[in-house]
Amino acid sequence: MKPATLEFVKQKFAEYYRRQNLTVPSSLEQREWGFIFFDAAAEVRMRRHMAFADREELSAYVKNLVPAHVYYSTAYYQTPSAPTMSEKHWAGADLIFDLDADQIVRGPYAMMLARVKEETEKLLAMLTDELGFARNQIRIAFSGGRGYHVHVTEIAVRGWGSQERREVVDYVCGIGLDPAAMLTPGSAPTGWRRRYIETLRAHLLEIAARDPAEATAYLAGLDGIGKRTAAEFLAKAGSLAAGSPGDLLKDRVVRAITAAPDFEERLRDAGARADEPVTTDIKRLIRTPGSLHGGSGMRVVPLDIRDFAEFDPLVDAVVFGDRDVRVDLRTNVNTSLLGNTYSLSAGVRNVPEALAIFLCCRGLAEIAGGA
């Protein structure tokens, strides 16, 4: 950001923090805190290893220094302000899931937000319906950028290490599923057995619908499958897909298909695309609800599960007004905000304040003279 832009954005953040307080986590005094401040320097540095005795002390710090980003540890420490991790003395951590649209899909911002919300809904259903976590022990936060954070705060999970957390995130992401366990005949399939069978059947039907030469070449490229076997399989693929899971398991071409990368990718689509390293990290810093995201100017919004379906980040996470602000757009921009769609060409334009802050924070515009 240029100096004028930096000063404008910082001033608007300061106005927000003067009238709003952060949503502090439980056991605030056991959390490590980190901050990234507005700085014209290219290198971004975080000031961390900080602790606060209460919400008043934290609030005063934020109001006085006006950070661009505010983070707290998902972990609980005996001495959170200690300069090294070993000296902090880890005392547990919440179970966290991070869903980021950048890792799921690329495209217009509104489309990315809609897609990551779908993934978050899938995750919430798995956590409550399949893994048995209580709805009142789950907290959601819109990240202020391109995704959501899901916090499981049950005391029972706090002592879990990285391995236990790995098992949970592998489950929700559909990683390491055993075809034999998924396809073994039994009672009506639920959870991942149901998703696996449905995904496999859809995949088989998609292969059968391809051009015969293309489908044969694909199957013949699988480990241990020749062209003759591939051709024979294609003749029965449709009926096999409609058959029992046990029949699918017996077929060696099906077993080869289940080991292929493209099928594993389809399974990932059937699961929830959570960021695995975030969940397994027992000492993670995460954005603080109620703070502003320095890369968008939007609010990190805390949400209850019952409110999630109706939440619209392009409306509900926007905290600034609609007075005109003069900006110099570096490039053409097509985006949505506060129920409006904007198609703007590069150059000097008057735009609503909320949009100006969004564009400046994202590096798409600078404040122009006369703002």
- Contact by Cβ (8 Å): 140, 308: yes
What interhelical angle do 212-220 and 227-241 show, nearest 10?
A: 110
Residue positions annotated with a catalytic role: 98, 100, 275
Retrieve residue 182's tokens. Answer: 């998924």
